Chains A and B, each alone.
Chain A
Amino acid sequence: MLPRSEMIRRLRAILPAEAVLTETEERRPYECDGLTAYRRVPWLVALPETEAQLKAILRLCRDGGVPLVVRGAGTGLSGGALPLERGLLVSLARFDRILALDPANRTARVQPGVRNLAISEAARPYGLYYAPDPSSQIACTIGGNVAENAGGIHCLKYGLTVHNVIALRCLTVDGESLTLGGAGLDGPGYDLLALLHGSEGLLAVVTEVTVRLLPRPAATRTLLAAFAAVGEAAEAVAAVIEAGLIPAALEMMDRPAIVAVEDYLRVGYPREAAALVICELDGPAAQVAAEAETARAVFERHGAFQVQVARDEAERARFWQGRKSAFPAIGRITPDYYCMDGTIPRHRVAEVLAEIARLADRHGLRVANVFHAGDGNLHPLIMYDAAAGELERVERLGREILELCVRVGGTITGEHGVGVEKLDAMCHQFGGGELRLFHAVKRAFDPEGLLNPGKAVPALARCAELGGMHVHHGRLPHPQLERY
């Protein structure tokens, strides 16, 4: 591997001096992503802004045997962008241009450093938008969304990033340019476009993303239903789906979350409720009006003691404000919390929540639940006090919760990714054969293992603890972002 001084010299031949960060203080902002429990000041940071520069960097790394981590905005929650002790950190922040917006074909071709929300903003004059809306959408970039296969509140109806990207341009570790997907709705050969989504930067470096844009929904209707029992709410969620509806969003919170939110913001949620469901329907006006009636009837039939339909945009915003403020509301009432991200089959929600409460009791810890009920993606928030030495107990509980998710037929991560955080849990979810094939796929793209090594797929030898997102005193590294 090239020594650092030599690497700096060669990087400076590729990039202007200001685009190679060598001083500790300039490198420090890149020491972590949204998972701040893991930090490492990068060895060196490069800020390319053209594909030619990026290509040259990749070739330099390959020839010099230097591993590299490529990152976007660093809003990820699993440590996927954690720098290497000896390796290059490449930020794609300067790849921030929208290259083409094509209203007739309803696509936008953008560079990876473009922010998620900026695409919808650019498409708005044409009555179009980009559907996936992760909670960090004002800051997170589309390149990172591809790497993590980001979801969002509305993915029940509109899908994840993988369902909304039609083409990628990327560079292999050899600096060769590839186009995956195509101008139509699919590409030739193997579906490498799908494979790259959620590959956490281990397979290739994305340099251009072509996303599909959708017409903005003509109408939106939002319902808030309150239940006296979690089981009733869970059954009502299943019944909405059984009634043939695919809401744009179908969210749930339990009593600890409701109380925390009410204490914090007083949005008007009924404090006596054991569970709240927010159901949002969108589409053509007549369709939405009919669906909202169906949803209301389903909630009432399943024991909701209160069902409100937002009368206007202000009321709709209020319904959502509580849900979207649940994380900071929890952050107010506990010194620390730990956010999990398991997904389970929907019909086991009530049973799993009860089991989580039982496990939490056993460890003497409190858990609040706010989650994407429609697709069974749980976010249990374990409350604790790190200063009181509770972290170890929390990690044990977290591990038990993820094991529970796997046991009921679910997964250890629905949308936050594996990164460094869930490497151990991967061992719990997959057997040796599966892990070996993951490594073989990695080698097919990157034989020397230079792209984001040590992330996403654990080495076969490794197997032990589980993890979660660790938040101290409610301080996330991007405090301006809502998290939900």
Chain B
Amino acid sequence: MDRTEALQARVLDAYRTGTPLRIVGGGSKTFYGRAVHGEPLALAEHRGIVDYQPSELVVTVRAGTPLAELEAVLAAQGQMLGFEPPHFGPATVGGAVAAGLSGPRRPFAGAVRDFVLGVKLLTGRGEVLSFGGRVMKNVAGFDLSRLLAGSQGTLGIVLEVSLKVLPRPPLEVTLRRRLPPERALKAMAELMGRDLPLSGLAYDEPFLYLRLAGMPAALAEAATDLGAEPLPDGGFWEALREQRLAFFTEGTESLWRLAWAPAAPNPDLPGRWLLDWGGAQRWLRTDAPPERVFAAADAAGGHATWMRGHGPDDPVFQPLPPPLFKLHKALKDAFDPKRILNPGRLYEDL
């Protein structure tokens, strides 16, 4: 159902009165980010697939469409979202784009933003604008569509998004190999440097997990070559993506995400580690103070996110250097001059 007009009226009203809005999709990722103090603006009714041509590899969807529904429609045509987004509950497509989180396939297929081709968005001024399009290549105008991926609704409300989709691989198999943690990074770097049909590469002590995707003959060749034990199913990857592995569910320490140079050693922080994305995304369970984690990430040219265990007003995302933060504020001002869209969700004062 197209609820553009009603949503636009709400935003125009909020713009006039300066009322902050808390944008709500499926409510599955409320934990991700700082708390927003504002009136809820629900997107759930603005749903439905607007256009889907499998041979175009493009689908255009309204933001409130349940992610699971979209994935089922794509699967029926032998296609999928290449960025393999986590759900964490009754997720919507708009929420998945706004959160900008990608699953285990990311280093092999791309991130959310890599698949965003175009958006229809509702700005903080209540304007409905369209950027990008439904084609793979488009360099007309600034790429404001990709900018919205991961912006957590602070720049605009994604009403509709056109996403590139991918064919599902004919076959996927999961292999694992026992490996001491001190050898994991080197093993992953070696595998990533070869032309293998990988679609997942993670280390959850004491095992290195590999997912291979492709034609059956190619997988047989690669599997023999890798000499690892095949697992009966690929349940590991969904459990990893949805944070249901024991690493995530056991213990009380906070959960951090570190985006990291894949071959670089772990920083000197206390706690337990799980490595995904061939080492480029690392999960850390720790009670270390946030300043310490942020400082360690910064020192290595990476960045940290306090995913779970933070308070509503704690800093969640890596603090930005002042010139970069100034630019963020200026951009926020361009899209949402009265700061009514999810204020404070990413950073205080944004």
Contacts and interface: CB of A to CB of B under 8 A. Distances in A.
B275 to A, nearest CB: 12
A154 to B, nearest CB: 12
A177 interface: yes
A287 interface: yes
B227 interface: no
A347 B53 contact: yes
B144 A441 contact: yes
Contact of A375 (B136, B193, B222): B136
A172 to B, nearest CB: 7
B41 interface: no
Contacts of A103: 193
Contact of B331 (A245, A438, A441, A457): A441
Contacts of A195: 142-144, 146-147
B140 A163 contact: no
B63 interface: no
A60 interface: no
Contacts of A457: 141-142
A190 B260 contact: no
Nearest to A177: B323
A411 interface: yes
B218 A377 contact: no
Interface residues of A, number: 100
Contacts of B176: none
Contacts of B331: 190, 441, 444
A375 B149 contact: no
A410 B135 contact: yes
A442 B138 CA distance: 19
Contacts, number: 280
A425 B143 CA distance: 17
Nearest to A291: B215
B139 interface: yes
Contact of B218 (A184, A284, A410): A284
A279 to B, nearest CB: 15
B57 interface: yes
Contact of B302 (A106, A182, A215, A415): A182
B263 A286 contact: no
A192 interface: yes
User: Which of A372, A409, A457 is packed against the most chain B CB atoms within 10 Å?
Assistant: A409
Interface string A433-456: 110011011111100000000001
A189 B317 contact: yes
Contacts of A189: 317-318, 320, 324-325, 328, 346-347
B303 A187 contact: yes
A59 B126 CA distance: 37
Contact of B261 (A184, A289, A416): A184
In this complex, the member of A126, A167, A186, A433 whose beta carbon has the largest number of chain B beta carbons within 10 angstroms is: A186
B217 interface: yes
Interface centre among B106, B141, B301, B303 (most CB of A within 10 A): B141
A215 B111 CA distance: 19
Interface string B226-268: 0000000000000000000000000000000011111110000
B129 A346 contact: no
A56 B293 CA distance: 35
Nearest to B114: A163
B192 interface: yes
Interface string B53-85: 111111000000000000000000010000000
Contact of B141 (A102, A216, A376, A426): A426
A287 B259 CA distance: 31
Contacts of A215: 192-196
A377 B141 contact: no
A192 B218 CA distance: 38
Nearest to A199: B142
A344 interface: yes
Contacts of A122: none
Contacts of B324: 178-180, 189, 192
Contacts of A216: 195
Contacts of A188: 303, 305, 317-318, 320
B129 A433 contact: yes
A345 B155 contact: no
Interface in A216-249: 216-218, 238-239, 241-242, 244-246
A162 interface: yes
A414 B327 contact: no
B195 A437 contact: no
B166 A148 contact: no
A314 interface: no
B281 A184 contact: yes
A441 B260 contact: no
A156 interface: yes
B300 interface: yes
A377 B110 CA distance: 21
B47 to A, nearest CB: 22
B300 A414 contact: no
A185 B135 contact: no
A409 B155 contact: no
A204 B69 CA distance: 41
Contact of A185 (B54, B111, B218): B111
B262 A413 contact: no
Contacts of A283: 195, 197, 214, 218
Given A183-B260, A184-B281, A290 B217 contact: yes
Contacts of A160: 137
A174 B155 CA distance: 24
Nearest to A346: B56
9 contacts: A104-B262, A176-B323, A188-B303, A189-B347, A284-B214, A345-B58, A376-B136, A418-B141, A426-B141
Given A159-B114, A203-B142, A434-B131, 9 more contacts: A106-B262, A167-B301, A182-B301, A185-B111, A194-B113, A198-B143, A215-B193, A242-B55, A343-B137
Interface of B: 53-58, 78, 100, 106-107, 110-111, 113-114, 123, 127-131, 133-144, 146-147, 149-151, 155, 166-170, 189, 192-197, 214-215, 217-218, 220-222, 258-264, 277, 280-281, 300-303, 305, 317-318, 320-321, 323-325, 327-328, 330-331, 333-335, 346-347
Interface of A: 102-107, 126-128, 148-149, 151, 155-156, 159-160, 162-163, 167, 172, 174, 176-180, 182-192, 194-195, 197-199, 202-203, 215-218, 238-239, 241-242, 244-246, 283-287, 289-291, 343-347, 372, 375-377, 409-418, 422, 425-426, 429-431, 433-434, 437-438, 440-445, 456-457
